[in-house]
Amino acid sequence: MPLTLETFDDDESAAQTQNNSYDYQLGYAAGEAAAIAARAAEQGSLRNEVVQSIADINFGFDEAHHHILAQLGPLFNAMLTQILPATLSSGLVAALQDIAIAAAQQDADHPIVLRLPPDQLEAVQAALTDAAHPHMTFVADPTLNTHAAIAQTASTETALDLDTALSEISGVFDALPETKKRSS
């Protein structure tokens, strides 16, 4: 004998399941829309926080940059008005020694002519006696700045002007924001 089971599904229950399914879908769609809106709001909030953090960092950098330049201003001023000008004469001699040695190594058989301003001639001659090349001559040139020189060999000419270099360095420092202008 076949086994017969009792059926509880009726037309009313099938309609109820369909209604539940429809209500479920409506609720699911509403929940999904609410979740998307909440996620968009949270992303907007996070985006605003990131933008504010970057702005805060940038402000902090600008403020620190300004502070550092303001603190370094007196140092730059002292370097350009006291230290560097005081070392120009010795710097000229040291640079001319290097130039003379390089010229002598390059072409030892030809003369080296050092053109110098008249007020530097004796000091440079005295300082370069140890490094003097047998064919080195010193010539006074009144057209040169105080801390300038020109070294000439048969094949090259090297110009050195420390006054102009100092002026250009001073111009670079003067171009920095928040440093006081100085006279060099």
* 24 occurs within a structural domain: no
Q: For residue 101, tell me if it sits in a domain.
A: yes
Q: How is the beta sheet containing 112-116 ordered, strand by strand?
A: 136-140, 112-116, 148-152, 157-161
How far is residue 138's CA from residue 152's CA, in Å, rounded to a whole number? 11
Residue 46 in any domain: the answer is no
Q: What is the per-residue pLDDT for 18?
A: 57
Q: Report strand pairing: 136-140 vs 148-152.
A: unpaired
In a domain, 168, yes or no: yes
145 lies in some domain = yes
pLDDT at 70: 80
Q: Is residue 96 part of a domain?
A: yes
Q: What is this structure's pTM? A: 0.53
Q: What is the pLDDT of residue 8?
A: 66
**8 Å CB contact between 152 and 139:** no
Distance separating alpha carbons of residues 118 and 120, to the nearest angstrom:
5
**Three-point CA angle 109, 114, 119, nearest 5°:** 155
Has residue 102 got a pLDDT over 50? yes
Domain that holds residue 82: 54-175
User: What's the structural domain count of the chain?
Assistant: 1
Percent of the chain with pLDDT over 70: 84
Q: Is 9 contained in some domain?
A: no
**Residue 151: which H helix or E strand, with range?**
strand 148-152
Does residue 126 lie in a domain region? Answer: yes
Of 4-13, 109-118, 138-147, the least confident: 4-13
CATH of the domain at 122: 3.40.30
